[in-house]
Chains A and B, each alone.
Chain A
């Protein structure tokens, strides 16, 4: 399977804490993206990082990319209860066919 893997599979933290999720993938990529999915809903795009970038920020989100290790991490700082959702990484090898990771279910406790 080409599917990427994410860890942890599930993460439970207190409001205000930081949450870190990791993604590993198998093939060379053009870009990697992180998506959020609330239970039973569609996907919301969070951030895109290209293969020649190492780090990107967007609000409380920080994404890193290490192409030599074929891995990426998503950091959510100062988490809120509203951040509770599943988070997926998705890689694009340049064909626009996204390969999704297994996902991390984040629960932020108020």
Chain B
């Protein structure tokens, strides 16, 4: 089946630094990918829609300057958490959907970000 790979799976960074998370569709091209955030023991909240070759679309309340999204190729989207703070610590998950299948999206393994 289709595979979405996310890297890194776990990252610890110092407050004030930036962290980049990669999301790759391994065996299909994805013009659109999605980024979600999940706080401990809570559900997933959609942050933004990543569009290949154009600007990302952010959900209400998500700071686009804080969470930079780049979708430079049909198989790679990146999420950069800029000037990270402890409150940015969370589980970030991406998803992508194989085109023209009518089937479900596939999710990456997730990235556990801890800002210290």
Contacts and interface: CB of A to CB of B under 8 A. Distances in A.
Interface of A: 3, 33, 35, 40-45, 48, 88, 90, 96-103, 105
Contacts of A45: 104-107
Given A33-B104, A42-B108, A102 B95 contact: no
The 6 closest A-B pairs by CB, nearest first: A42-B109, A43-B107, A42-B110, A100-B44, A100-B43, A45-B104
Most A Cβ at <10 Å: residue of B32, B97, B107? B107
16 contacts: A40-B91, A40-B110, A41-B109, A41-B110, A42-B6, A42-B93, A42-B107, A42-B110, A45-B104, A88-B44, A96-B32, A97-B34, A97-B49, A98-B105, A99-B46, A103-B43
Interface residues of B, number: 24
A94 to B, nearest CB: 11
Secondary structure of the B contact surface, majority rule: strand
A45 B109 CA distance: 12
Interface string B82-109: 0000000001010101000001111111
B62 to A, nearest CB: 13
A101 B105 contact: no
Nearest to B6: A42
Given A3-B43, A40-B112, A88-B44, A96 B97 contact: yes
